[in-house]
Structure 1
Amino acid sequence: MTFAAQRLITAMIIVLAAMLTGCSAYKPAPRAFNEAALQPYRLDSGDRLRVNVFDQTGLTNTYTIDQAGYVAFPLVGQVAARGKTVAQLESGIAQKLRQGFLKNPDVTIEIDRYRPVFVMGEVGRPGQYSYVPGMTAQNAIAIAGGFTSRANQRDVDVTRKINANVLTGRIIISAPVIAGDTIYVRERFF
Protein backbone atom coordinates (compact mmCIF):
# COMPACT_ATOMS: atom_id res chain seq x y z
CA MET A 1 0.00 0.00 0.00
CA THR A 2 1.37 3.41 -0.94
CA PHE A 3 1.86 6.26 1.45
CA ALA A 4 -0.92 8.28 -0.27
CA ALA A 5 -3.36 5.37 0.10
CA GLN A 6 -2.50 5.05 3.82
CA ARG A 7 -3.12 8.77 4.34
CA LEU A 8 -6.45 8.53 2.50
CA ILE A 9 -7.59 5.59 4.66
CA THR A 10 -6.46 7.37 7.84
CA ALA A 11 -8.34 10.52 6.83
CA MET A 12 -11.50 8.51 6.09
CA ILE A 13 -11.28 6.79 9.49
CA ILE A 14 -10.92 10.17 11.25
CA VAL A 15 -13.94 11.60 9.40
CA LEU A 16 -16.04 8.50 10.16
CA ALA A 17 -15.05 8.61 13.84
CA ALA A 18 -15.95 12.30 14.05
CA MET A 19 -19.36 11.60 12.50
CA LEU A 20 -20.06 8.74 14.90
CA THR A 21 -18.87 10.75 17.90
CA GLY A 22 -21.17 13.62 16.92
CA CYS A 23 -24.13 11.24 16.69
CA SER A 24 -23.47 9.47 19.97
CA ALA A 25 -22.73 12.64 21.96
CA TYR A 26 -26.23 13.97 21.43
CA LYS A 27 -28.76 13.37 24.20
CA PRO A 28 -32.54 13.42 23.72
CA ALA A 29 -34.59 16.26 25.15
CA PRO A 30 -34.91 16.14 28.95
CA ARG A 31 -38.33 15.51 30.48
CA ALA A 32 -38.73 19.17 31.59
CA PHE A 33 -38.13 20.24 27.99
CA ASN A 34 -41.16 18.33 26.71
CA GLU A 35 -43.32 19.22 29.70
CA ALA A 36 -42.73 22.96 29.09
CA ALA A 37 -44.88 22.76 25.95
CA LEU A 38 -47.79 21.41 28.01
CA GLN A 39 -47.65 24.01 30.81
CA PRO A 40 -49.62 27.29 30.88
CA TYR A 41 -47.99 29.96 28.72
CA ARG A 42 -45.27 31.94 30.50
CA LEU A 43 -44.66 35.54 29.51
CA ASP A 44 -41.24 36.80 28.46
CA SER A 45 -39.45 39.62 26.61
CA GLY A 46 -41.05 40.48 23.29
CA ASP A 47 -44.62 39.48 24.17
CA ARG A 48 -47.08 42.30 23.45
CA LEU A 49 -50.05 42.50 25.82
CA ARG A 50 -53.43 44.16 25.57
CA VAL A 51 -54.16 45.33 29.13
CA ASN A 52 -57.70 46.44 29.94
CA VAL A 53 -58.46 48.16 33.24
CA PHE A 54 -62.25 48.34 33.45
CA ASP A 55 -63.59 51.90 33.37
CA GLN A 56 -60.05 53.35 33.14
CA THR A 57 -59.45 54.36 29.50
CA GLY A 58 -56.17 56.08 30.41
CA LEU A 59 -54.69 52.80 31.61
CA THR A 60 -56.14 50.50 28.95
CA ASN A 61 -53.53 50.07 26.23
CA THR A 62 -51.06 47.74 24.53
CA TYR A 63 -47.79 47.13 26.38
CA THR A 64 -44.65 45.17 25.40
CA ILE A 65 -42.52 43.25 27.86
CA ASP A 66 -39.04 44.76 27.68
CA GLN A 67 -35.68 42.95 27.51
CA ALA A 68 -35.40 42.97 31.30
CA GLY A 69 -38.78 41.21 31.61
CA TYR A 70 -40.85 44.16 32.85
CA VAL A 71 -43.94 46.02 31.68
CA ALA A 72 -43.83 49.80 32.15
CA PHE A 73 -47.36 50.48 33.42
CA PRO A 74 -48.78 53.98 34.12
CA LEU A 75 -49.06 55.05 37.77
CA VAL A 76 -47.28 51.98 39.18
CA GLY A 77 -44.10 51.89 37.09
CA GLN A 78 -42.23 48.68 36.26
CA VAL A 79 -44.14 45.43 36.84
CA ALA A 80 -42.25 42.12 36.64
CA ALA A 81 -43.76 39.93 33.90
CA ARG A 82 -41.08 37.40 32.90
CA GLY A 83 -42.03 33.84 33.81
CA LYS A 84 -45.55 34.73 34.94
CA THR A 85 -48.82 33.51 33.49
CA VAL A 86 -51.37 36.03 32.22
CA ALA A 87 -53.50 35.47 35.36
CA GLN A 88 -50.50 36.13 37.64
CA LEU A 89 -49.67 39.38 35.83
CA GLU A 90 -53.33 40.51 35.98
CA SER A 91 -53.25 39.95 39.73
CA GLY A 92 -49.89 41.72 40.09
CA ILE A 93 -51.00 44.85 38.23
CA ALA A 94 -54.32 44.95 40.12
CA GLN A 95 -52.48 44.64 43.44
CA LYS A 96 -50.15 47.55 42.58
CA LEU A 97 -53.09 49.69 41.44
CA ARG A 98 -54.85 49.03 44.80
CA GLN A 99 -51.89 50.62 46.61
CA GLY A 100 -53.26 54.17 46.57
CA PHE A 101 -54.45 54.52 42.97
CA LEU A 102 -57.73 52.61 42.46
CA LYS A 103 -60.15 51.15 45.00
CA ASN A 104 -61.07 47.89 43.25
CA PRO A 105 -59.33 47.61 39.85
CA ASP A 106 -60.59 45.01 37.37
CA VAL A 107 -57.59 44.09 35.18
CA THR A 108 -57.75 41.72 32.21
CA ILE A 109 -54.88 40.87 29.88
CA GLU A 110 -54.83 39.26 26.45
CA ILE A 111 -51.71 38.39 24.51
CA ASP A 112 -51.79 40.65 21.45
CA ARG A 113 -48.64 39.21 19.88
CA TYR A 114 -46.45 36.35 21.06
CA ARG A 115 -42.67 36.56 20.89
CA PRO A 116 -41.39 34.97 17.65
CA VAL A 117 -39.90 31.58 16.86
CA PHE A 118 -36.66 31.31 14.92
CA VAL A 119 -36.14 28.72 12.19
CA MET A 120 -32.60 27.97 11.02
CA GLY A 121 -30.68 25.39 9.04
CA GLU A 122 -31.92 23.46 6.03
CA VAL A 123 -35.10 25.44 5.28
CA GLY A 124 -36.06 27.60 2.32
CA ARG A 125 -36.11 30.94 4.19
CA PRO A 126 -34.37 30.84 7.59
CA GLY A 127 -35.44 33.63 9.91
CA GLN A 128 -37.78 34.95 12.56
CA TYR A 129 -41.49 34.09 12.32
CA SER A 130 -44.64 34.88 14.28
CA TYR A 131 -45.68 32.25 16.80
CA VAL A 132 -49.24 30.94 16.81
CA PRO A 133 -50.60 28.91 19.76
CA GLY A 134 -50.61 25.19 18.93
CA MET A 135 -47.73 25.54 16.45
CA THR A 136 -45.62 22.45 15.77
CA ALA A 137 -42.06 22.30 14.45
CA GLN A 138 -43.50 21.18 11.11
CA ASN A 139 -45.78 24.25 10.95
CA ALA A 140 -42.84 26.57 11.66
CA ILE A 141 -40.73 24.86 8.98
CA ALA A 142 -43.56 25.21 6.45
CA ILE A 143 -43.80 28.94 7.19
CA ALA A 144 -40.02 29.18 6.70
CA GLY A 145 -40.25 27.83 3.15
CA GLY A 146 -40.20 24.10 3.89
CA PHE A 147 -37.29 21.69 3.90
CA THR A 148 -34.39 21.97 1.48
CA SER A 149 -33.41 18.89 -0.51
CA ARG A 150 -30.60 18.19 1.99
CA ALA A 151 -32.73 18.45 5.14
CA ASN A 152 -33.20 15.76 7.76
CA GLN A 153 -37.00 15.58 7.82
CA ARG A 154 -37.45 13.20 10.78
CA ASP A 155 -36.54 15.39 13.74
CA VAL A 156 -35.15 18.83 14.59
CA ASP A 157 -33.08 20.42 17.33
CA VAL A 158 -34.94 22.98 19.44
CA THR A 159 -33.38 25.45 21.85
CA ARG A 160 -35.82 26.53 24.56
CA LYS A 161 -35.60 28.71 27.65
CA ILE A 162 -37.08 26.97 30.72
CA ASN A 163 -36.96 28.71 34.12
CA ALA A 164 -33.99 30.89 33.08
CA ASN A 165 -32.12 27.81 31.77
CA VAL A 166 -31.45 27.45 28.05
CA LEU A 167 -31.78 23.81 26.95
CA THR A 168 -31.45 22.13 23.56
CA GLY A 169 -33.24 18.94 22.73
CA ARG A 170 -34.14 16.86 19.70
CA ILE A 171 -37.85 16.49 18.95
CA ILE A 172 -39.92 14.94 16.17
CA ILE A 173 -41.32 17.44 13.68
CA SER A 174 -44.91 16.91 14.84
CA ALA A 175 -44.03 17.99 18.42
CA PRO A 176 -45.32 21.35 19.68
CA VAL A 177 -43.06 24.37 19.93
CA ILE A 178 -43.50 27.39 22.18
CA ALA A 179 -42.94 31.09 21.61
CA GLY A 180 -39.27 32.01 21.73
CA ASP A 181 -38.04 28.59 20.53
CA THR A 182 -35.19 28.32 18.03
CA ILE A 183 -35.72 25.43 15.62
CA TYR A 184 -32.69 24.07 13.79
CA VAL A 185 -33.14 21.70 10.83
CA ARG A 186 -30.02 19.59 10.42
CA GLU A 187 -28.54 18.36 7.15
CA ARG A 188 -28.97 14.66 6.47
CA PHE A 189 -25.87 12.59 5.80
CA PHE A 190 -27.26 10.34 3.08
Structure 2
Amino acid sequence: MINKLLKTFWFLVLTSWLSVQAQSAGDYQLGSGDTIKITVFGQADLSIETLLDDSGKIEYPFLGQIQATGKTLTQLQQDILAGLKGDYLVNPNVSVTIIEYRPFFIDGEVKQPGGYPFQPGLTVSKAAALAGGFTERASLSKIFIVRSNDPEQASVNVTANALVQPGDIITVRQSYF
Protein backbone atom coordinates (compact mmCIF):
# COMPACT_ATOMS: atom_id res chain seq x y z
CA MET A 1 0.00 0.00 0.00
CA ILE A 2 2.77 2.44 0.97
CA ASN A 3 4.72 1.46 -2.14
CA LYS A 4 1.72 2.30 -4.33
CA LEU A 5 1.28 5.67 -2.59
CA LEU A 6 4.95 6.49 -3.06
CA LYS A 7 4.80 5.58 -6.74
CA THR A 8 1.71 7.76 -7.19
CA PHE A 9 3.36 10.63 -5.32
CA TRP A 10 6.53 10.48 -7.45
CA PHE A 11 4.46 10.17 -10.62
CA LEU A 12 2.56 13.36 -9.72
CA VAL A 13 5.79 15.19 -8.83
CA LEU A 14 7.41 14.11 -12.10
CA THR A 15 4.42 15.03 -14.28
CA SER A 16 4.07 18.46 -12.66
CA TRP A 17 7.82 19.08 -13.09
CA LEU A 18 7.63 18.03 -16.74
CA SER A 19 4.66 20.32 -17.38
CA VAL A 20 6.57 23.27 -15.89
CA GLN A 21 9.58 22.33 -18.04
CA ALA A 22 7.46 22.05 -21.18
CA GLN A 23 5.60 25.27 -20.46
CA SER A 24 8.78 27.25 -19.81
CA ALA A 25 10.79 25.73 -22.66
CA GLY A 26 8.03 25.89 -25.31
CA ASP A 27 7.81 29.65 -25.67
CA TYR A 28 11.10 30.53 -24.01
CA GLN A 29 13.26 32.80 -26.15
CA LEU A 30 16.97 32.17 -26.03
CA GLY A 31 19.25 34.99 -24.91
CA SER A 32 22.89 35.69 -24.19
CA GLY A 33 24.02 33.80 -21.13
CA ASP A 34 22.02 30.65 -21.93
CA THR A 35 23.97 27.42 -22.44
CA ILE A 36 22.38 25.11 -25.00
CA LYS A 37 23.07 21.64 -26.31
CA ILE A 38 22.40 20.75 -29.93
CA THR A 39 22.25 17.03 -30.61
CA VAL A 40 22.03 15.41 -34.01
CA PHE A 41 21.34 11.75 -33.29
CA GLY A 42 23.91 9.44 -34.84
CA GLN A 43 26.20 12.37 -35.72
CA ALA A 44 28.57 13.06 -32.82
CA ASP A 45 30.55 15.62 -34.88
CA LEU A 46 27.39 17.73 -35.30
CA SER A 47 26.45 17.66 -31.60
CA ILE A 48 27.71 20.68 -29.63
CA GLU A 49 27.25 22.46 -26.32
CA THR A 50 27.68 26.23 -26.41
CA LEU A 51 27.19 29.39 -24.36
CA LEU A 52 25.28 32.12 -26.18
CA ASP A 53 27.35 35.29 -26.11
CA ASP A 54 26.30 38.90 -26.71
CA SER A 55 26.42 38.51 -30.49
CA GLY A 56 23.54 36.05 -30.26
CA LYS A 57 25.07 33.82 -32.92
CA ILE A 58 26.53 30.36 -32.65
CA GLU A 59 29.15 28.77 -34.85
CA TYR A 60 27.74 25.49 -36.12
CA PRO A 61 29.59 22.83 -38.17
CA PHE A 62 28.85 22.97 -41.92
CA LEU A 63 26.31 25.79 -41.50
CA GLY A 64 28.55 28.56 -40.13
CA GLN A 65 26.98 31.27 -37.98
CA ILE A 66 23.36 30.85 -36.93
CA GLN A 67 21.33 33.49 -35.08
CA ALA A 68 20.11 31.90 -31.83
CA THR A 69 19.02 34.68 -29.49
CA GLY A 70 15.40 35.70 -29.75
CA LYS A 71 14.40 32.28 -31.04
CA THR A 72 12.59 29.48 -29.26
CA LEU A 73 14.18 26.06 -28.99
CA THR A 74 11.82 24.78 -31.69
CA GLN A 75 12.70 27.62 -34.08
CA LEU A 76 16.44 27.04 -33.66
CA GLN A 77 15.92 23.30 -34.07
CA GLN A 78 14.00 23.89 -37.33
CA ASP A 79 16.73 26.22 -38.65
CA ILE A 80 19.42 23.60 -38.03
CA LEU A 81 17.22 20.82 -39.43
CA ALA A 82 16.58 22.82 -42.62
CA GLY A 83 20.28 23.58 -43.02
CA LEU A 84 21.40 19.98 -42.59
CA LYS A 85 18.64 18.26 -44.55
CA GLY A 86 19.49 17.41 -48.13
CA ASP A 87 23.08 18.62 -48.60
CA TYR A 88 24.51 16.95 -45.51
CA LEU A 89 22.00 14.43 -44.18
CA VAL A 90 18.95 12.69 -45.64
CA ASN A 91 16.71 12.74 -42.57
CA PRO A 92 18.45 14.39 -39.60
CA ASN A 93 17.00 14.09 -36.11
CA VAL A 94 17.89 17.35 -34.31
CA SER A 95 17.28 18.22 -30.68
CA VAL A 96 18.01 21.54 -28.95
CA THR A 97 17.90 21.70 -25.14
CA ILE A 98 18.81 24.24 -22.50
CA ILE A 99 21.65 23.09 -20.29
CA GLU A 100 21.71 26.23 -18.14
CA TYR A 101 19.49 29.31 -18.23
CA ARG A 102 20.95 32.80 -18.03
CA PRO A 103 20.92 34.18 -14.48
CA PHE A 104 18.38 36.53 -12.94
CA PHE A 105 19.39 39.43 -10.69
CA ILE A 106 17.95 40.60 -7.40
CA ASP A 107 18.84 43.74 -5.47
CA GLY A 108 17.47 46.04 -2.82
CA GLU A 109 16.17 44.71 0.48
CA VAL A 110 17.48 41.14 0.32
CA LYS A 111 20.33 39.83 2.42
CA GLN A 112 22.64 38.84 -0.45
CA PRO A 113 21.88 40.85 -3.62
CA GLY A 114 23.39 39.56 -6.85
CA GLY A 115 22.96 37.26 -9.82
CA TYR A 116 21.66 33.73 -9.32
CA PRO A 117 21.06 30.76 -11.62
CA PHE A 118 17.51 30.64 -12.97
CA GLN A 119 15.35 27.60 -12.30
CA PRO A 120 12.00 26.91 -14.02
CA GLY A 121 9.03 27.74 -11.79
CA LEU A 122 10.98 30.42 -9.89
CA THR A 123 8.89 33.05 -8.08
CA VAL A 124 9.99 36.31 -6.47
CA SER A 125 9.70 34.69 -3.01
CA LYS A 126 11.92 31.80 -4.08
CA ALA A 127 14.38 34.22 -5.69
CA ALA A 128 14.56 36.16 -2.43
CA ALA A 129 15.17 32.90 -0.55
CA LEU A 130 18.12 32.19 -2.86
CA ALA A 131 19.42 35.66 -1.97
CA GLY A 132 19.31 34.89 1.78
CA GLY A 133 15.74 36.12 2.31
CA PHE A 134 14.14 39.53 2.62
CA THR A 135 15.63 41.98 5.09
CA GLU A 136 13.53 43.24 7.98
CA ARG A 137 13.04 46.50 6.07
CA ALA A 138 11.75 44.88 2.88
CA SER A 139 8.38 46.00 1.56
CA LEU A 140 6.47 43.09 0.02
CA SER A 141 4.18 45.57 -1.73
CA LYS A 142 7.09 47.38 -3.42
CA ILE A 143 8.70 44.67 -5.51
CA PHE A 144 9.59 45.61 -9.07
CA ILE A 145 10.75 43.54 -12.04
CA VAL A 146 12.42 44.68 -15.22
CA ARG A 147 11.84 41.90 -17.74
CA SER A 148 14.83 41.02 -19.89
CA ASN A 149 12.60 40.58 -22.95
CA ASP A 150 10.92 43.99 -22.56
CA PRO A 151 12.38 46.38 -25.17
CA GLU A 152 11.28 49.39 -23.08
CA GLN A 153 12.85 47.95 -19.91
CA ALA A 154 9.86 49.14 -17.86
CA SER A 155 9.89 48.50 -14.12
CA VAL A 156 6.67 46.69 -13.18
CA ASN A 157 5.28 46.37 -9.64
CA VAL A 158 4.63 42.68 -8.86
CA THR A 159 3.68 40.46 -5.93
CA ALA A 160 5.95 37.97 -4.18
CA ASN A 161 4.19 35.16 -6.10
CA ALA A 162 5.09 36.58 -9.54
CA LEU A 163 7.06 34.28 -11.82
CA VAL A 164 10.64 35.25 -12.57
CA GLN A 165 12.16 34.76 -16.02
CA PRO A 166 15.82 34.33 -16.94
CA GLY A 167 17.63 37.65 -17.16
CA ASP A 168 15.03 39.52 -15.09
CA ILE A 169 16.11 42.17 -12.62
CA ILE A 170 14.15 42.17 -9.35
CA THR A 171 14.29 45.16 -7.00
CA VAL A 172 12.84 44.95 -3.50
CA ARG A 173 12.24 48.41 -2.09
CA GLN A 174 12.39 49.49 1.52
CA SER A 175 9.31 49.77 3.73
CA TYR A 176 8.99 52.92 5.80
CA PHE A 177 7.04 51.31 8.62
Same fold (TM over 0.5): yes
- Structure 2 residue aligned with 1:130: 117
TM-score for the superposition, normalised by structure 1:
0.75
Q: Could you tell me which amino acid in structure 2 is paired with residue 143 of structure 1? A: L
- Structure 1 residue aligned with 2:46: 59
Residue 104 of structure 1 deviates from its aligned partner by 2.1
Measured against aligned partners, the alpha-carbon deviations of 1:5-27 in whole angstroms (never above 9, x if no partner) come to xxxxxxxxxxxxxxxxxxxxxxx
- Structure 2 residue aligned with 1:70: 57
- Structure 1 residue aligned with 2:133: 146
Q: Could you tell me which amino acid in structure 2 is paired with residue 115 of structure 1? A: R
Q: Is the 8 A contact 2:124 2:160 kept in 1?
A: yes
- Structure 2 residue aligned with 1:177: 164
SS of residue matched to 1:152: strand
Alignment of 1:68-107 (within 5 A): 68-98=55-85, 100-107=87-94
Gap runs ≥5 in structure 1:
1-36
- Tell me: CA distance 1:138–1:111, structure 2 relative to 1, closer, same or farther (3 Å): same
- Structure 1 residue aligned with 2:31: 44
SS of residue matched to 2:42: coil
Q: Is the 8 A contact 1:83 1:163 kept in 2?
A: no
CA distance in structure 1 between the partners assigned to 2:88 and 2:155 by the alignment: 44
Measured against aligned partners, the alpha-carbon deviations of 1:110-166 in whole angstroms (never above 9, x if no partner) come to 110000000111111001100001100111010001011111123411011336442
SS of residue matched to 1:154: strand
Structure whose CA Rg is larger:
1
Cα RMSD over matched residues? 1.7
Measured against aligned partners, the alpha-carbon deviations of 1:76-129 in whole angstroms (never above 9, x if no partner) come to 111111111111110011112236222222110111000000011111100110
Q: Is the 8 A contact 1:155 1:173 kept in 2?
A: no
Q: Is the 8 A contact 1:54 1:105 kept in 2?
A: yes
